[in-house]
Amino acid sequence: MTAPAQTASATILPFAEPVKAARDTRPLRLITCGSVDDGKSTLIGRLLWDTKAVKEDQAATLARDSGKQNDLGLPDFALLLDGLQAEREQGITIDVAYRYFSTDRRSFIVADTPGHEQYTRNMATGASTADLAILLTDARSGILEQTRRHATIAALMGIRQFVLAVNKFDLVNYDKAIFEKISHEFREFALSLGVRQITAIPMSALKGENVVYSADSAIPWYDGPTLVETLELATVRTAQAGGFRLPVQRVARPGESFRGYQGTVAGGSIKPGDPVVVLPSGVVANVKQIVTFDLVRNAAVAGDAITLVLDRQVDVARGDVIVSLDGQPMTGLHFDAQLVSLQPGGIEPGRRYWLKSGSRRQRVTVEPISQLELSTGKWRPHASTLAMNAIGKVRLSFEEQAVFDAYEQNRSTGAFILIDPDTLNTVAGGMITAKRAELGGIHTEGQRVLMSLPADLAEQIMASELFANRRDETEIRRLTAKQAVELFSNAASDI
């Protein structure tokens, strides 16, 4: 059915707003998150609406699709975000929607993420690149387990600025006590995640109160900033500190005489003449040239997509990392990491996955060590499969040398995904915390005890705090009772 088209004179009319000055800052990347139905999509819809990012024809479509609307006679702003048919049918968000808007001060890229637990992976997708998280709660229900899950994932992924939107405030009579209770509870929780920068705002996404316009009449006691004021003042993640990092995406050889290493600078800076090391091989060379389309450049910084030419013939392949001689990343076969399990099969101990980080893909096995218990915020020992949506600490073991920074130091070279070797789907997102000492190296001295225990008793011992704390000093093999008997009889005969 063709909607009544606008008239042929679709002249572009001047809008009662000044032409925006060219932006001179990078856009702030933010996400909305929180439990299902707390009003995330409505909030972003309202934000787009009030910043005039919704065009006339889109507004007409919105009015048509909103149907009988709500009690307040307002359009269903969430429909500006929930663009999939399944989402409209079910009235929930399933996948992230990316939107772009700007105020006179700056531009924004916002990812509206789904609250439903089943789609946590899509929330993680949005969170991985964000500078700031708007965490919503329904003022009537407060902080729920899903709210905690989202806040935790956002914090793990390095988001350090939070806005707590105490939403649907119109439905609790704008009660100050409720706002204070929820924001107090959240502050306590956020501190435990290491997040200190929190702005709590009482809000009605639907009515647009404290979103772009302040709500002086409805909430006279609140004298803090509106959402947009907060966003305008937020900081964009600064370029990665530390040494130069160039994960090599391609080796460009357009002719005999030219060999360039193409990639995006993932940290630090570089200029011609600087000494570099190629990892994992460890070969050293100097930078001869930084080539880009426009001109040969005299420096490149984090974020730049460049082609690097070295001063000598060295063996460099896709997946290698070219780094500064000073301040090198960690290389090794064993690393500690935190990860979020994203698919129904979970992350299985001992299974071989593909790990991709930067441009490097290699085989890895994952050994879960502990899992975060959302209700208490405590890490519990956990050595079995990390189920979908679980947040775990794991140990990664590689077959070939791996190269990483800690995620805290570098959000590019410290991040990875796991790919299932059968389905080829992305099954986890992870963050490197540290390099492990090579097993064997620290265990060649002192006495060791080999015990053979019933599996259930071993589980209990391994579940203890004491054991978990020294897990990296132990080695465990699961055997049948028969194998154990054999092993022990052999060992006995050796002594």
Partner 1 sequence: MPLSVQETEVKNPPVSRPPLDPHLKALENEAIHIFREVAAEFEKPVMLYSIGKDSSVLLHLARKAFHPGRVPFPLLHVDTTWKFREMIEFRDEIAAKYDLDLVVHTNTRGAEEGITPFSHGSALYTDIMKTEALRQALDAGGYDAAFGGARRDEEASRAKERIYSFRTPDHKWDPRNQRPELWNIYNGMIKKGESVRAFPLSNWTEVDIWRYIQAEDIPLVPLYYAAERPYVERDGMMILAEDPRLKLLPGETVQRGMIRFRTLGCFPLTGAIRSTASNLDEVIAELEIATVSERQGRAIDRDQSGSMEKKKREGYF
Helix, strand, coil percentages (3-state) for the chain, rounded to 5, are 25, 30, 45
Residue among 63, 100, 438, 486 that touches partner 1 (CB under 8 A): 100
Q: What, of Mg ion, ligand GTP, partner 1, none, does residue 205 touch, CB below 5 to 8 Å by kind?
A: ligand GTP
The residue among 264 and 331 lying less far from partner 1, judged by its C-beta, is 264
**Contact range with Mg ion by CB under 5 A, out of 9-17, 91-99, 334-342, 451-459:** 91-99
CB of 54 to ligand GTP, least distance (A): 15
Residue among 124, 219, 366, 374 that touches partner 1 (CB under 8 A): 124
Scan residues 309-368 and list those touching partner 1 (CB under 8 A). 309, 318, 342, 354, 356-359
CB of 356 to partner 1, least distance (A): 5
DSSP H helical ranges for 68-207: 85-90, 120-127, 145-156, 176-192
Residue among 66, 214, 362, 426 that touches partner 1 (CB under 8 A): 426
Told to check if 202 binds ligand GTP by CB under 6 A, we report no
Residue among 63, 69, 70, 83 that touches partner 1 (CB under 8 A): 83
Told to check if 397 binds partner 1 by CB under 8 A, we report no
Sign, Cα dihedral of 459, 461, 466, 467: negative
Residues 6+ apart with CB under 8 A from 395: 334, 335, 336, 337, 366, 367, 369, 436, 472
Residue among 29, 31, 42, 338 that touches ligand GTP (CB under 6 A): 42
Residues 6+ apart with CB under 8 A from 217: none
Residue among 88, 99, 106, 116 that touches ligand GTP (CB under 6 A): 116
The residue among 32 and 357 lying less far from ligand GTP, judged by its C-beta, is 32
Scan residues 10-69 and list those touching Mg ion (CB under 5 A). 40-41
321 near 248, Cβ under 8 Å?
yes
Q: Helix or strand or coil: residue 487?
A: helix
**Contact range with ligand GTP by CB under 6 A, out of 165-173, 332-340, 358-366, 447-455:** 165-173
The residue among 237 and 471 lying less far from partner 1, judged by its C-beta, is 237
382 near 244, Cβ under 8 Å?
no
Q: What, of partner 1, ligand GTP, Mg ion, none, does residue 447 touch, CB below 5 to 8 Å by kind?
A: none
341 near 266, Cβ under 8 Å?
no
CB of 275 to Mg ion, least distance (A): 50
Residue among 93, 128, 146, 199 that touches Mg ion (CB under 5 A): 93
Scan residues 89-108 and list those touching ligand GTP (CB under 6 A). 92-93
DSSP H helical ranges for 384-473: 455-462, 465-469
Q: Is 482 exposed, middle or buried (0-12, 13-18, 19+ CB in 10 A)?
A: exposed
Provide the residue count of the chain: 495
Residue among 78, 135, 190, 231 that touches ligand GTP (CB under 6 A): 78
Query: Count of CB atoms within 10 A of residue 433's CB?
Result: 17
Q: Residue 301: beta bridge partners? A: 269
Told to check if 126 binds ligand GTP by CB under 6 A, we report no
The residue among 120 and 359 lying less far from Mg ion, judged by its C-beta, is 120
435: Cα within 13 Å, side-chain hemisphere? 12
Whole-Å CA distances, 487 to 221, 287, 325, 440, 448: 73, 56, 48, 20, 16
Scan residues 286-305 and list those touching partner 1 (CB under 8 A). 289, 291-296, 303-305
Q: For residues 285 and 278, what is the distance between their CA atoms, to the nearest angstrom?
A: 8
Told to check if 125 binds ligand GTP by CB under 6 A, we report no
Fill in the amino acid letter for 462.
Answer: M
Number of residues forming the site for ligand GTP (CB under 6 A): 21
Least Cα distance to 245 among 127, 414, 89 occurs for 414
The residue among 60 and 72 lying less far from ligand GTP, judged by its C-beta, is 72
Site of tokens 């639907």: 206
Residue among 30, 92, 97, 386 that touches partner 1 (CB under 8 A): 97
Q: What, of Mg ion, ligand GTP, partner 1, none, does residue 331 touch, CB below 5 to 8 Å by kind?
A: none
> Contacts for 82-86 with beta carbons within 8 Å, 24 or more apart?
82/41
Told to check if 196 binds partner 1 by CB under 8 A, we report no
Told to check if 493 binds partner 1 by CB under 8 A, we report no
Fill in the amino acid letter for 495.
Answer: I
Binding site for ligand GTP (CB under 6 A): 36-42, 70, 78, 92-93, 114-116, 167-168, 170-171, 204-206
